[in-house]
Amino acid sequence: MNEKNALLIESAFKEYYFNRFDLIHVPQRAAEREFGYQKFNSGMTRHLVVKNDKELHLMLMKEVPSDVYCSNAYYMFPNLPMSEKDWKGADMIFDIDAKDLALPCRKDHTIFKCSSCNNSATEFQSQCPKCGSGKFETASVICKNCISESKKEVTKLVDILTTDLNVQKEQIETYFSGNEGFHIRVTNADYEPLGSQERADLVDYIMFNGAIPESFGIRRQNNSKSLLPTFEEKGWRGRVARKLFSSKSKVPKVTREIIASGYSAFQVQLEEIKKTMGVRVDPKVTMDIHRIFRLEGSINSKSGLSKIQCTNLDSFDPFLEACLLGDDNVEIMVDCPLQIRLKNKKFGPYKSEIVSLPKYAAVYMLCKGLGNAI
Amino acid sequence: MLKIGVKDLAKYPFLTEAGEYLRNTGLSLEQLGHPDWQPIVEKAYGRIVVASSGQIYGSDLETLDNDSELLSFLVAIILLKSAGIATLIRRFSLAESRRAERYLQQDLWVSRDKKNLELPLKIIRDLFAVNVSIDNEDFVIKVPDYLHRAIHFHEKEWKLVNRRVANGLVYLSAHETVRLIRAELGEYIHEKIQSVNVDSVPQIFRQRVEDLVTLAKKFSDTTYVSSEYPPCVKHGIEVLEKGENLPHSGRFLLATYLLSKGQTVDQIAPLFKNAPDYNERTTRYQLDHISGSSGSGTKYQCPSCEKLRSESLCFAIPDCDGIINPVQFGKKRKNQ
Ligand code: SF4
Ligand SMILES: [Zn+2]
Ligand SMILES: [Zn+2]
């Protein structure tokens, strides 16, 4: 990122970190966790210990990081190198990101920016119409649909966690990721000691990966004796039954159809169910038991929005509630072919023009690579 | 209080209570050295021989009521410790755990109606810290307890998604419950034997100890593990040595890899001996097939790292960097 842009963003972040102590806290058992941060145009600093809010605030004001992270793992010695940390356990974490959901709306809010001449377009082209270069960077700007689809995934996840896995509602914290999705953290002593492979299998459960027809009573041979799951069953068997039969009165008819179509047809049906009912989380995040994960309350430098907790997911509007930078105006150069909406105000489209924008909107443009400080 | 009788100890001679029972009978090692006890020594020796051949020593249920079952187990340990041969101890632990597994499964079944599951459940709880409870027809354990163990099995039906799960619990049959703790049972018995100290052995044991040393020579040619093997291959060999089940894809990896390293079917076949479903003829038939010496004559190639990764059989380490097939492991690349 160019130096001028970094300076502008940094000063906006600094103001936030200075003024909003009320929003920025260390998670519970902070002293057992590893912290890390990144500064603009420099590498990652890891293996830090931050024991309490006061130390955290001090670090934020001194360093003004672009991004701040904290481990979901608990260690005996969080500040030692990885091999000597002595892993004790980890919260379960889930990352739901709109970009992984393959939504049709994605193409409507993705901007392609030519890497050599900076010309931007809203449509994918194999070559830049201005300079002929074939290299593009993409930026995805805010989209309500992406957020509401991500929320649906969160709801599915919370349902499985609470009904199948016996996690209590109070043990689940849902956060807006600060960009295009949600982070979920589960603190539950039973699941805390699970290693990476165990978590991988748990994620497959949540995503409905690897289900075989036999588990739902469909066998390769002797299918006439098949025992399909029933409506009332718990877990995936019940979920699959409710999906297949849709209503109790249809059970006999659908059962006959399923048995008649056979094993491979049922396998295809399971694949379909996975697509619609499996929760689309990023498995790598949940499996990684040494990850440092974005710290709640901190700002995401991909957007300038904050990672904040959603107490009421349904009504949560990230473009209002997570947009927390100052609103005094700054002049910047913007090239954004789409209109965006932040804090209920519309901005753009702008065609490479100098405009005066509230700081939160200006920073958003810079973070997305759609503008430059002047 | 749960009463553990001699019949229970005959089934589960590795329980701590076995030691107490023995102490109460006032029997000492010296006394066991008396020629009167020779039949027990013979029984103990037989128990080891059976185990070393990969079979499970079967007690007839009648003898479960007398001390000879328990005593022969204890004497077997003394013989094994005096001979001091690791392979024999491992094979014995494995066979004994399979034997106990049978009883455990039976006890879980038989006791269902009598609502007298205390002993098998206590064994599972005390030895492996797993709480098993009953829900109607099923045994249930907590999801995390399940995951810890099930991830070592590679068959699809052990994936959590293919289990009945509700309220944080996994539902299992008696057979599955016991299957889940098999590896730990073997380990437990193994550790138990390791922890026994034997300083002096009665005269009448000596001959059998020497026989064990001779017996062990037969197995010395079956050690295959080389530090040169890639982690995926080592893992497969370990799984088999523990007597765990290796899925077909894992066996295929071992066979193709070792064949590509110039080993013969004869050298490879014994590797599969400990597999729970071992059958010498089918194993040979399959190996011949893979090596191309039968059937179509096609020689099968070792699967790629990517394929293995997708089957959760890859355990990559930094030395695996830059290779796409296990056979490349350890070969220095020319332009380096
Ligand atoms: S990277 Fe290849 S060689 Fe290494 S463990 Fe994985 S599969 Fe085996
Ligand atoms: Zn261009
Ligand atoms: Zn969208």
Q: Say which of B142, B151, B161 has its CB closest to residue A205.
A: B161
Q: What does the pLDDT read at residue B70?
A: 87
Grouping H, G, I as helix, E, B as strand and the rest as coil, residue A324 is: coil
pLDDT tens for each residue of A328-346:
999 999 999 999 999 999 9
Q: Does A119 fall in a domain?
A: no
Answer yes or no: are the C-beta atoms of A187 and A174 closer than 8 Å. Answer: no
Q: What does the pLDDT read at residue A146?
A: 97
Ligand whose nearest atom lies closest to the CA of A106: 3
Q: Does A214 fall in a domain?
A: yes
**Band (B225; pLDDT cuts 50, 70, 90):** low
Cα A31 to Cα A27, A47, A92, distances in angstroms: 9, 12, 18
Grouping H, G, I as helix, E, B as strand and the rest as coil, residue A173 is: strand
pLDDT at B335 over 50: no
Contacts of A236 (CB under 8 A, 6+ apart): A164, A205, A208, A211, A215, B161, B165
**Band (A203; pLDDT cuts 50, 70, 90):** very high
Separation CA A309–CA A318 (nearest Å): 10
Q: Does A254 fall in a domain?
A: yes
pLDDT at B293 over 70: yes
pLDDT at A186 over 90: yes
Grouping H, G, I as helix, E, B as strand and the rest as coil, residue B106 is: helix
pLDDT tens for each residue of B188-205:
888 888 888 887 788 888
Inter-chain residue contact A202 with B142, CB threshold 8 Å: no
Q: What does the pLDDT read at residue A117?
A: 85
The closest alpha carbon to A217, from A257, A254, A253, A266, belongs to A266
pLDDT at B301 over 80: yes
pLDDT at B296 over 70: no
A217 shares its domain with A361: no
Asked if A204 is an active-site residue, the reply is no
pLDDT at B221 over 50: no
Grouping H, G, I as helix, E, B as strand and the rest as coil, residue A67 is: strand
pLDDT at A5 over 80: yes
Q: What does the pLDDT read at residue A346?
A: 96
The distance of Cα A47 from the centroid of its chain, to the nearest Å, equals: 24
Q: Does A112 fall in a domain?
A: no
pLDDT tens for each residue of B235-276:
898 888 766 678 888 999 999 999 888 888 888 888 887 666
| Between A117 and A106, the higher pLDDT residue | A106
Q: Which helix (H) or strand (E) holds A186?
A: strand A181-186
Alpha helix segments (H runs only) across A91-138: none
A307 shares its domain with A267: no
The CATH number for A39's domain is 3.90.920.10
Inter-chain residue contact B160 with A194, CB threshold 8 Å: no
In the chain, the amino acid numbered B160 is L
pLDDT at A21 over 50: yes
Q: Which of A238, A256, A277 is the last residue of a domain?
A: A277
A62 shares its domain with A160: yes
A39 shares its domain with A97: yes
A72-A158-A238 Cα angle (round to 5): 130
Answer yes or no: are the C-beta atoms of A90 and A108 closer than 8 Å. Answer: no
Separation CA A342–CA A323 (nearest Å): 7
Residue A162 is classified by DSSP as I
| Between A348 and A175, the higher pLDDT residue | A175
Q: Does A135 fall in a domain?
A: no
Q: Which helix (H) or strand (E) holds A310?
A: none
The whole-angstrom distance between A99's CA and the closest CA on chain B is: 23
Inter-chain residue contact A234 with B144, CB threshold 8 Å: no
Q: Which residue's CA is the nearest one to ligand 1's atom 6?
A: B314
The pLDDT mean for chain B works out to 82
The pLDDT mean for chain A works out to 94
Separation CA A255–CA A249 (nearest Å): 11
A97 shares its domain with A223: no
Q: Does A111 fall in a domain?
A: no
Q: Does A366 fall in a domain?
A: yes
For the record, the structure tokens of B41 come out as 């020594």
The closest alpha carbon to B302, from B266, B336, B335, B255, belongs to B255
In this structure, the residues whose C-beta lies within 6 A of any atom of ligand 1 are B 230-232, 305, 308, 314-316, 320, 323, 326, 329
Q: Does A79 fall in a domain?
A: yes
Q: Which of A240, A257, A277 is the last residue of a domain?
A: A277
A193 shares its domain with A240: no
Q: Which of A256, A277, A298 is the last residue of a domain?
A: A277
The closest alpha carbon to A174, from A97, A94, A98, A287, belongs to A94
A273 shares its domain with A353: no
Grouping H, G, I as helix, E, B as strand and the rest as coil, residue B313 is: coil
Interface residue of A82, A83, A162, A165 to substitute, partner B, most B CBs within 10 Å:
A165
Mean pLDDT in residue range A159-171: 97
The closest alpha carbon to B134, from B112, B162, B157, B156, belongs to B112
Q: What does the pLDDT read at residue B102?
A: 87
Number of domains in chain A: 2
pLDDT tens for each residue of A120-131:
888 888 888 888
**Band (B334; pLDDT cuts 50, 70, 90):** very low
Could you give the ipTM of this predicted complex? 0.93
Q: Which residue's CA is the nearest one to ligand 1's atom 8?
A: B232
Least confident piece of the model among A86-100, A255-269, B247-261, B285-299:
B285-299
Q: What does the pLDDT read at residue B120?
A: 84
**B contacts of A211 (beta carbons < 8 Å):** 159, 161-162
Least confident piece of the model among A38-52, B158-172, B220-234:
B220-234
A351 shares its domain with A226: no
Q: What does the pLDDT read at residue A179?
A: 95
**A contacts of B167 (beta carbons < 8 Å):** 163-164, 166, 234
Q: Which helix (H) or strand (E) holds B195?
A: none
Chain A residue closest in CA terms to B163:
A215
Please provide residue B309's backbone torsions phi and psi, each rounded to the nearest 5 degrees: -60, -40
A214 shares its domain with A181: no
Interface of A with B (CB under 8 A): 163-167, 190-191, 193-194, 197-198, 200-202, 204-205, 208-212, 214-215, 233-237
A193 shares its domain with A288: yes
A198 shares its domain with A288: yes
pLDDT tens for each residue of A49-100:
999 999 999 999 999 999 999 999 999 999 999 889 999 999 999 999 999 9
Out of B314, B321, B323, B325, mutate this one to test ligand 1's pocket (max ligand atoms within 8 Å of CB): namely B314
Residue A45: HSE in the Cβ half-sphere, 13 Å Cα cutoff: 17
Separation CA A35–CA A60 (nearest Å): 12
Residues spanned by the domain of A325: 3-101+142-205+282-373
A94 shares its domain with A166: yes
- Percent of chain B at pLDDT > 70 equals 87
Inter-chain residue contact B144 with A204, CB threshold 8 Å: no
Mean pLDDT in residue range B57-83: 81
For the record, the structure tokens of B230 come out as 């890639």
